[in-house]
Amino acid sequence: MNNINLSAAIVLAISLPYSVNAMAQNMSKSEYKAAEKNIVAEYKAAKTNCDSLAANAKDICMAEAKGKEKIAKTELEARHKPSKTAGYKVSVAKAEADYAVAKEQCDDKAGNDKDVCVKEAKAALVSAKADAKAQLKSSKAKATEREETSEARMKAKEEGSEARKDAADAKRDADYAVAKEKCDAMSGNARDLCVNNAKKLHGK
């Protein structure tokens, strides 16, 4: 998966879990246990398929299998006990799963190309987590805004604004790390110019 597709996939992933509350139906204990067993069975089957591969292809396959298992378990829990926080955990699980796969894929590269690949994967993870956190806080803040007191509404608005700012800062830092890593492929004045431009672009 290339980095552009990875970022797009993560952005899509964080937008979905927040509808969990609206769609979720209460699950019985037996339904929950059955779904849990099915997840474990699917992971074991995927792991067996990976055993036929070798080297980094096997590592990528295992990362995908583990990621799918983690996502499935987190989604199951969100359906079982739906909440805004549960939706947030699904977003994080998806972002971390995509990151684990992307990081393994970077092992097929070498030198600065590999370093940049890892930084880009990390930037996508940081961005997804920041957006998910901001969305969670904003969602909670909107719920608080419905309270009667003006003080509560004002505090909620401030928390929502702060969450969006924190997300923007985190993404800017991650993007700067990528830009700076790309500069390491250069030397001398070209590298210095590259670093300075990266600092200006990302407000450093």
Q: How confident is the model at residue 166 (pLDDT cuts 50, 70, 90)?
A: confident
- CA 83, 88, 89, 93 dihedral sign is positive
Q: How confident is the model at residue 153 (pLDDT cuts 50, 70, 90)?
A: low
Boundaries of every domain in the chain: 3-201
Element (H, E) at 197: helix 188-201
Q: Cα–Cα distance between 197 and 23 in angstroms, integer?
A: 47
Q: Cα–Cα distance between 163 and 135 in angstroms, integer?
A: 8
The structure tokens 């590298």 sit at: 191
> Which pLDDT value is given to residue 10?
38
Alpha helices in 81-149 (DSSP H): 84-106, 111-145
Q: What is the mean pLDDT of residues 71-80?
A: 94
Contacts of 70 (CB under 8 A, 6+ apart): 93, 96, 97
> Which pLDDT value is given to residue 156?
67
Q: How confident is the model at residue 114 (pLDDT cuts 50, 70, 90)?
A: very high
> Which pLDDT value is given to residue 135?
86
Q: What is the DSSP letter of 19?
A: G
> Which pLDDT value is given to residue 147?
57
Q: Cα–Cα distance between 137 and 39 in angstroms, integer?
A: 30
> Which pLDDT value is given to residue 11?
39
Mean pLDDT of the chain, nearest integer: 83
Q: Cα–Cα distance between 197 and 129 in angstroms, integer?
A: 27
